[in-house]
A and B are shown apart, each in its own frame.
Chain A
């Protein structure tokens, strides 16, 4: 039987070692979940090329049970945000995230998805997807190599291993709240309004709402 599943706290008699294994419900539940994380078919930029490479035979994501890239959020467990998130794309990404059933995980792959990367102060790029959806694992790199991505996926598996049926949010009493979908609005800076903005800057609250910020 699988060694990682057996529970060392409860001893099994020697004569039954080969036939009986004792495990906890949490362990078997997490083992099942983490060995079949289905990502969503979801590529945004150059990181997606590395993700495709990871899925191909040289690195073979199927060894982790993740080869089933699903083309619908309803069947996906993991959203790999692979690449630059433009402001025009954010509403769609958040909507896809909301459409995924629990348990769901988000991985920010590469510099752009994690923190904006070289476009962090760009007029059209969001500086990090973590401002819009909860991110579980950040994978640095520009782009991360397939092995770095696999390392990130293993980190995600570790995270899943640490979860417990008692505390996971999708079995809680309250229904999970949908993440608010940001609205694509006017740009941050309209050159025609420079004077007005400079005038208003003194009265602005410190924490600007993200949705308005867009």
Chain B
């Protein structure tokens, strides 16, 4: 008999239609507009309608999601902000589409360079979200953001992000990428511990040497 395939296919469509109503009943009033219900609808349990009702509910982004870099600053107890960036320019060098522009600062008296940028520009209409800058930064000062709602009417001003726009606290980074943050903090602590141990060992060696020298001098005097 002809047409069985068509009937089967339409049956699938009808099943989805009915499922959407059954699901509505099952999660009466709790089906839309919350992260929990969105996860259920997007997961393996989800049946029927799985549309993301975008402005009201947003698909959670994975931790490694990359969108337009931002700069990290640390806030000390007095509320002073210090950028992690040292304006070394590695990110600007590795950037494939060359969208980073750094203005270095120098001491007004001596004219020597200061390891902090005066300004930092990223043209977000050039950036291709590859994440090389974050990958290569030796100071963990530039990281990829999760905020993708950046559309605007103007390209020349709104879409050239300056330092003020790019700066975000370390806590924000810890909140969007908790795992990465932990790994980095652990690595940093390990590095610091290693450095301290090395210093201690050097000091001990020096002391031992001094003691040996004194002992030999003593022996010579005797």
Contact = CB atoms under 8 A, between A and B. Distances in A.
Interface of A: 57-60, 63, 108, 111, 114-118, 120, 128, 130, 135-142, 144-145, 147-148, 150-152, 154-155, 159
Interface of B: 50-55, 58-59, 67-68, 96-98, 123-130, 148-155, 159
A115 B150 contact: no
B151 A140 contact: yes
A92 to B, nearest CB: 22
Nearest to A139: B151
Nearest to B42: A58
A111 B58 contact: no
Nearest to B51: A60
B151 A155 contact: yes
A59 B154 CA distance: 26
17 contacts: A63-B54, A111-B125, A114-B159, A115-B123, A115-B126, A138-B151, A138-B152, A138-B153, A140-B150, A141-B129, A142-B127, A142-B128, A142-B129, A144-B148, A145-B148, A147-B52, A154-B55
Nearest to B66: A142
Given A141-B148, A154-B55, A135 B97 contact: no
A115 B161 CA distance: 14
Contacts of A116: 126
Given A58-B51, A115-B123, A141-B67, A148 B128 contact: no
B57 to A, nearest CB: 10
Given A115-B123, A141-B67, A136 B55 contact: no
Interface of A is mostly: mixed
A152 B51 contact: no
Given A114-B159, A140-B125, A141-B67, A152 B54 contact: no
A22 B171 CA distance: 48
Contacts of B124: 140
B59 A147 contact: yes
A172 B100 CA distance: 43
A137 B51 contact: no
Contacts of B151: 137-140, 144, 148, 151-152, 155
A150 B98 CA distance: 28
A63 B53 contact: yes
A150 B127 CA distance: 20
A114 B125 contact: yes
A140 B153 contact: no
